[in-house]
Amino acid sequence: MKSPSFRPLREGDLRIMRVVLRPAPFDAVAEVMDYRAAVGSPGKSGATSIFIGTMRDFNEGEEVRNMTLEHYPGMTEKHLEEICKQAESRWAVHDILVLHRTGDIEVGEDIVLVATWAAHRGDAIDATRFIIEDLKHRAPFWKKEAVSEGERWVERNTSGYST
């Protein structure tokens, strides 16, 4: 699948930010490469940090067959943009890309992509971690999982660590 052309939401002082919600599957690695080719500033970033979240086949000790991810249009994008602005104010990142699936998602499909570019790895890694943690715990998304007994709404996200 060919990526859409990327147009920055905000430009200035080498900083670019792009937030996209997408109802169709995407290839996260191809998206990063296409984005970088479209808006790249060769030599400006010495570090790229990438997080890719993928649909698991289990959650809370049960097998999960698939998931529906709902969001609040307008509010969700605004929240994600705000998270990115906060990351830009805390770390010296040049560029941020956030892609997030919505709708019906199958096991193994990419759900979320967070990529940051910075001069140094610490800024890129810390900004990526900040964005994904806020996104997972505060962004207005709702998950409904298909499990053996039917369907269930996910009440909370996992901590991000194995228990």
* Domains of the chain by residue range: 26-153
Q: What is the pTM of this model?
A: 0.87
Local structure of residue 96 (DSSP, 8 states): E
* Residue-level pLDDT at 4: 40
* Residue-level pLDDT at 15: 59
* Residue-level pLDDT at 11: 46
Which positions ≥6 away from 144 have C-beta within 8 Å? 67, 68, 69, 70, 151, 152, 153, 154
* Residue-level pLDDT at 41: 65
Quick check: 143 and 105 in contact, CB under 8 A? no
* Residue-level pLDDT at 69: 96
CA distance 143 to 118: 32
* Residue-level pLDDT at 163: 63
> Which CATH superfamily hosts domain 26-153?
Molybdopterin biosynthesis MoaE subunit (3.90.1170.40)
Q: Cβ of 103: how many Cβ atoms within 10 Å?
A: 14
pLDDT along the chain (163 residues), means of 10: 40 66 96 85 83 93 94 93 94 94 97 95 96 94 92 81 67
* Residue-level pLDDT at 120: 93
Which positions ≥6 away from 105 have C-beta within 8 Å? 55, 66, 67, 68, 69, 111
Structure-token pair, residue 88 = 């830009």
* Residue-level pLDDT at 157: 74
Short-list 139, 89, 96, CA closest to 6? 96
